[in-house]
Amino acid sequence: MKHPLAFGLAIAISSMAMPALTHAAKTAKTPVTRTDTANPFLAPSPLPLHYPQFDRIRDTDFAPAFNRGMAEQLKEVAAIANQKAKPTFANTIVALEKSGDVLRRAQTVFGSLVGADTNAARDKLDTEYSPKFAAHYDAISLNPKLFARIEALYHKREKLGLDAQGVRLVEKYYQDFVRAGAKLSDTDKVRLKAINAQMATLGTQFNQNVLAERNELSVVVDSSAELAGLPDEQIAAARKAAEDRKLEGKYVIALQNTTIQPSLTYLSNRALREKIFKASISRGSRGGKYDNTGIVSQVVKLRAEKANLLGYPTYAAYALEDQTAKTPEAVNAMLGKLAPPAVANARREADAMQAVIDQDQKAAKQPTFKLEPWDWAYYAEKVRQAKYNFDEAQLKPYLELENVQKNGVFYAANQLYGLTFKERKDLPVYEPDVRVFDVFDADGKQLAIFISDMYARPSKRGGAWMNSYIDQSALSGYLPVVANHLNIPKPPEGQPTLLSWDEVTTMFHEFGHALHGMFSDVKYPYFSGTSVPRDFVEYPSQVNEMWADWPSVLANYAKHYQTGAAMPKELLDKVLASSKFNQGFTTTEYLGAAMLDQNWHQLAPAQVPDAANVMAFEAAALKKDGVDFYAVPPRYRTPYFSHIMGGYAAGYYAYIWSEVLDADSVEWFKQNGGLTRKNGDHFRKTLLSQGGSADAMKLFHDYTGRDPWIEPLLRRRGLDSTKSDDGAAPSDSKSPTAPKSGT
């Protein structure tokens, strides 16, 4: 949930954005002396929809804007808190909603750029200002006079003549201030402020270490012969990455955020696979300046102490209270019931791969070897090819980036919601590869501006995400400006950008978040766009993935980049037939990470291990939960698990919790005619446009007319009582419980 005084701002973004240390070629812009009137953050941008003035922004603008913005907001808050007039919704809650404009503008852009295009100057600012921002928001949230006004309104909220959204806003402000420590003693408030400042500093350091070490540990390869099996476009990208580092004649395999690296699917060189994997899992725990084990220990202990101060037994209990899950017990129950059938499936998948290894080694008259984590992706692809007679490389010529975006992602949005898109070249961007689109509603009126940032670069954090530069609200009169960020390797100049199927579905997924932001139609900034519980926010974006392989959408974009020929139906049929393939691995690696997250955040302060025992605690936690299958490591290991050092602390379970709703909603669409304007308009009206203005599960009920069903998820993941992909019966379909409001 957004901070009550930082609506969608970079105070949240910065803590989640995994900011990176810059590479040698990326330097801060030359400092420029600027007058206050020249600082682009001191007034709303004059560009369309208040789009950021990237061409005018200098790194030297941020600190003055931060300082002035914080000072101005504190004055505004003091005026609200100290006024003699009795508290009203207008003079207290609405006034708070309107406060902090300068700070909001500066933090939003800064937080976005730290994630998408950092440099040394921005990293320094992030380190310097993270604790200052924490102290600033503490000064507001812990202001006793301000809280007294909010509390007075809360106790008579039903008698203020407000509509439902107004009543909810009063309730959310009250709850957020209480959860921020407003009811603590003065002594405890002092300690809480110190904890928040320390956590802000440590979180920034953790995130900077992650990307700095990711860049440092990129694997250098001496010859193309060692890259046998890697697709040509990836070899070209590796060559370009080496050239960028002045390593002529060599190749660089850049690491991604996840434990298992994409290149392991293709590389036939087993020694190189092992080298890449071991580089990946060593991140953050190999000693030296980027070691994160000490930071993990300190942050987890501080979070546990903060939870205790606020009256909760653990940080997980604190974090989950305002989510749809509500309690750690509910999360533990779902994850615990999913884990046994998932691991059982993974073990069967491993047996099938071991059989292929034994067969191949026997045919080559070589001794066999035990399947290891660095072998899994490579031999899974062999099993897939044998079972379904296709490999991922066959798809890529039909999945060219421009076609996927314009004729796939945008086309589906047009068919479902009537949206149209027009690229514009006149608005400034922070990187030449970034593209900007006007988004028009079905009636021809402008709905939003969409920023598309698809390519990986050393200055950009890993993964994929959406962020909002401008939030919609009737109070401000603003329309949304939202962005999607992916990390697709950029091919050399003149080469096509050919995507994997995972990259295609990721594009649809992130655009689902963008739609959630663009369709926002709420009164107050607090509720705008994706301002919903963490375990609900992934749901609409996961639903949007369904259109990636919807027949009419796929036929519109899956065309050969050279000939224009449509993807053969038999190839598509094989893709769909293999949809449950490798789900044991996929579910187990995810559950390993999600359960690790819960284990860390369900500790009391005295139970938190020191730095020397962080990795031992991780191993013991995985074993305790039954997800310590040697061949399937967790998707993220603790020292580079940036999600839980940022906004998903005790919340990584949210992806599969949301997937219950997602899988059920996919069934709803199919049962009601699929890709139609009627269905799209209904989804938009009842859910996507509502943001956080109503209880999340009520929105789901308004959309479907019922509580969620668990069975569609179990079928999708191969965990239902029917035969799984390999012919075995995985589990009882009634074991996990679907999320319900208030449970």
The residues assigned a catalytic role are 510
CB 451 within 8 A of CB 481: yes
- What gap in Å lies between CA 590 and CA 339, rounded to an integer? 10
- What gap in Å lies between CA 723 and CA 560, rounded to an integer? 35
- What gap in Å lies between CA 66 and CA 71, rounded to an integer? 8
CB 464 within 8 A of CB 486: yes
Q: Coil, strand or helix: which one is 705? A: coil
Structural tokens at position 23: 């590479």
- What gap in Å lies between CA 270 and CA 367, rounded to an integer? 14
CB 546 within 8 A of CB 669: yes
CB burial of residue 37 (10 Å; 0-12, 13-18, 19+): exposed
- What gap in Å lies between CA 640 and CA 257, rounded to an integer? 8
CB 565 within 8 A of CB 320: no
Q: How far is CA 328 from CA 143, 313, 321, 324, 688, in A?
A: 31, 11, 9, 11, 27
- What gap in Å lies between CA 721 and CA 728, rounded to an integer? 9
CB 240 within 8 A of CB 232: no
Tokens 């943001």 belong to residue: 691
Full 3-state SS string of 229-256: CCCHHHHHHHHHHHHHCCCCCCEEECCC
Structural tokens at position 493: 């100049």
Helices 373-388 and 270-281 pack at an angle, to 10 degrees, of: 130
- What are phi and psi for residue 519, nearest 5 degrees? -85, -5
Structural tokens at position 194: 């110190």
CB 738 within 8 A of CB 708: yes
Helix (H) or strand (E) holding 571: helix 569-577
Report CA dihedral (522, 524, 529, 532) to the nearest 10 degrees.
Answer: -110
Q: Coil, strand or helix: which one is 135? A: helix
How is residue 392 annotated by DSSP?
Answer: G
Helices 101-116 and 59-82 pack at an angle, to 10 degrees, of: 140
Helix (H) or strand (E) holding 466: strand 465-470
- What gap in Å lies between CA 695 and CA 105, rounded to an integer? 28
Among 457, 478, 423, CA closest to 108: 478
- What gap in Å lies between CA 195 and CA 180, rounded to an integer? 12
CB 159 within 8 A of CB 101: no
DSSP string, 306-373: HHHHTT-SSHHHHHHTTSSS-SHHHHHHHHHHHHHHHHHHHHHHHHHHHHHHHHHHHHTT-------H
Length reported for the chain: 743
CB burial of residue 28 (10 Å; 0-12, 13-18, 19+): middle
- What gap in Å lies between CA 217 and CA 214, rounded to an integer? 5
